[in-house]
Amino acid sequence: MDANLIKQYGDELYNAMLERKTIAPLSSRGVEMSIEDAYHTSLHMLNRRVEAGARVVGKKIGVTSKAVQTMLNVHQPDFGYLTDDMVFSQGEEMPISERLIQPRAEGEIAFILKKDLIGPGISNADVLAATECVIPCFEVVDSRIENWQIAIQDTIADNASCGLFVLGDKAVSPTKVDLVTCGMVVEKNGKILSTGAGAAALGSPVNCVTWLANTLGEFGIPLKAGEVILSGSLVPLEPVKAGDFMRVDIGGIGSASVYFS
Amino acid sequence: MSNRTFTKEQVASMAEYIENAELNVHDIPKVTNDYPDMTFGDAYDVQWEIRRRKEARGNKVVGMKMGLTSWAKMAQMGVDTPVYGFLADYFSVPDGGEVDTSELIHPKIEAEVAFVTKAPLKGPGCHIGDVLAATDFVIPAVEVIDSRYENFKFDLISVVADNASSTRFITGGRIAKVEDVDLKTLGVVVEINGEVVELGAGAAVLGHPASSVAMLANMLAERGEHIPAGTFIMTGGITAAVAVKKGDNVTVRYQDLGTVSARFV
């Protein structure tokens, strides 16, 4: 793809996010889009947001479950950027009518880094040593693409379908919890919806962060101390609407909840 | 449940028929095909007769199990009640041990949490608080189920008569006091030959595995039975059941409770 088209797509996605409207899938417009083109589009969309005053606070990893990888016919995860305006705290209402289009909630484990991670060559031991703490998290994914009709290129270009996220009320050192076996229970409006465990994300949430550090390392981009890294969903995505209340409990870590308005 | 249509002779004859399918390792059509009016009362009578037959032969009953305790499975079966079964001594397989597939028809495995009681539990009205107070410890367990029915297809009444598909179980890992583990969020990861095939958390079992024990006490009360102190109880699959075959190596990893494994030979 030529640079102008990448810019045009990035602008389209940026405007769609601002105006809360969807656009036609980029992958079905008759122009071949590589994975690299898609990441360049995502970066352009990010640059527009940073120009408008947003600050990058971390990254998210997506497409980490076998089910989603099979659906998108890919065998690796993807990533997007987290900015300060996407973070919500416990007790804050998440206003779908102002910020989101077709949101879906997923329970995850967030990593907070205390040291830079510069790939390639990063191992899980490096990631654990660089992790200050893990926190329960709901990522509310959203797609600027019509009806979530996404190919892998569409979701990558669209900031890995990231919407907003809410961090939980407890931070735990990674030395205190087994991130492979820690169980997850997701409740919607007080009813248990799904359960999962850490291994649902590429066998371990740590594998996901390691993958990201090494993938970004190839482009000279570090994961930085202080950044929050969302490591990927441990349960199936759940569509949400105004009035819904979601809660996630993670064994040995804690809980996070979010009310949608 | 007290509703019954079978004579004593019919109960005995059906118990022999189903137990022989287990002992001779062959499948049979589900029993409700020939007895469409059979009730839960009849089905549990058949199960208790199978139990009596085994005890008369010198086998010991070493525990109880609950089945169909996850909402996903109950919805799949179109029912709102779990079922129970008993565990005979020869069902037990040591951790890391071998399960002989030549003795089984079409085995599947499920990851569960088991309770061992230190005080009797009597229904009706038994609740989760009673169960937690009466629990000596919890221990991870992998259940091997093996319906005697063709293609693992059955209705609830047929599966009750078939001792809730019970066949083998493996316990291991490490035990814990209920106050030291959060059984609701306790995670399990099921691996077959090193590949993760299923995972979940304790809440998948009726919201909390202890609820399953309370339900067992209340179901047993309908027959005037109770759960004595020292009873080993498997609470039902946290994960979906996964088919296993000869040559498979099963490992289940439990949060805070270690690992249970077995080889299918």
Q: Can you tell me the mean pLDDT for A150-158?
A: 96
Both structure tokens of A171: 């931070």
**A196: nearest CB among B182, B184, B201:** B201
pLDDT at position B2: 63
At A209, which amino acid appears?
Answer: V
- Whole-angstrom Cα distance, residue A138 to residue A188? 12
- Distance between CA atoms of residues B82 and B70, nearest Å: 8
SS3 B123: coil
**Tens digits of residue pLDDT in B148-188:** 999 988 889 999 999 999 999 999 999 999 999 999 999 99
| pLDDT(B214) > 80 | yes
CA distance A21 to A143: 9
Average the pLDDT over B82-89 and give the result: 97
Average pLDDT in chain B: 95
* Averaged pLDDT for residues B122-133: 98
pLDDT tens for residues A206-248?
999 999 999 999 888 999 999 999 999 999 999 999 999 999 9
Q: What is the mean pLDDT of residues A165-193?
A: 97
Best probe of the A interface among B188, B189, B208, by most A CBs < 10 A, is B189
What string of DSSP letters covers B188-238? EEEEETTEEEEEEEGGGBTTSHHHHHHHHHHHHHTTT--B-TT-EEE---S
Q: How far apart are CA A171 and CA A253, in angstroms?
A: 7
**Chain B residue whose CA is closest to A255:** B185
pLDDT of residue B77: 67
Number of cross-chain residue pairs from A and B with Cβ atoms under 8 Å apart: 76
DSSP code of residue B31: G
Give the per-residue pLDDT at A171.
Answer: 97
Residue B35, pLDDT score: 96
Establish if A181 touches chain B: CB-CB under 8 angstroms.
yes
Query: B118 near B138, Cβ under 8 Å?
Result: no
pLDDT surpasses 70 at B203: yes
- pLDDT exceeding 70 applies to what percent of chain A? 100
Q: Residue B186: what residue type?
A: L
Contacts of B187 in chain A (CB under 8 A): 181-184, 196-198, 251
- The mean per-residue pLDDT over the stretch B117-140 comes to 98
Instruction: Flag whether pLDDT at B30 surpasses 80.
Output: yes
Look at A197 and B184 and tell me if their CB atoms are within 8 Å: no
pLDDT average, residue stretch B41-60: 98
Task: For A7-75, give the secondary structure using H, E and C.
Answer: HHHHHHHHHHHHHCCCECCHHHCCCCCCHHHHHHHHHHHHHHHHHCCCCEEEEEEECCCHHHHHHHCCC
B256: contact with A, CB 8 A cutoff:
yes
**Structure confidence at residue A75 (pLDDT):** 86
Query: A250 and B185: CB-CB below 8 Å?
Result: yes
Give percent of chain B with pLDDT exceeding 90: 92
Question: Do you find a cis peptide bond into B124, omega within 30 degrees of 0?
Answer: yes
Per-residue pLDDT tens digits for A96-141: 999 999 999 999 999 999 999 999 999 999 999 999 999 999 999 9
What is the share, in percent, of chain B residues with pLDDT greater than 70?
A: 98
Q: Which CATH class is domain A56-259?
A: alpha beta
Confidence of residue B189 (pLDDT cuts 50, 70, 90): very high
Asked casually if ipTM beats, i.e. exceeds, 0.85, the reply is yes
Give Cα A85 to chain centroid, integer Å: 14
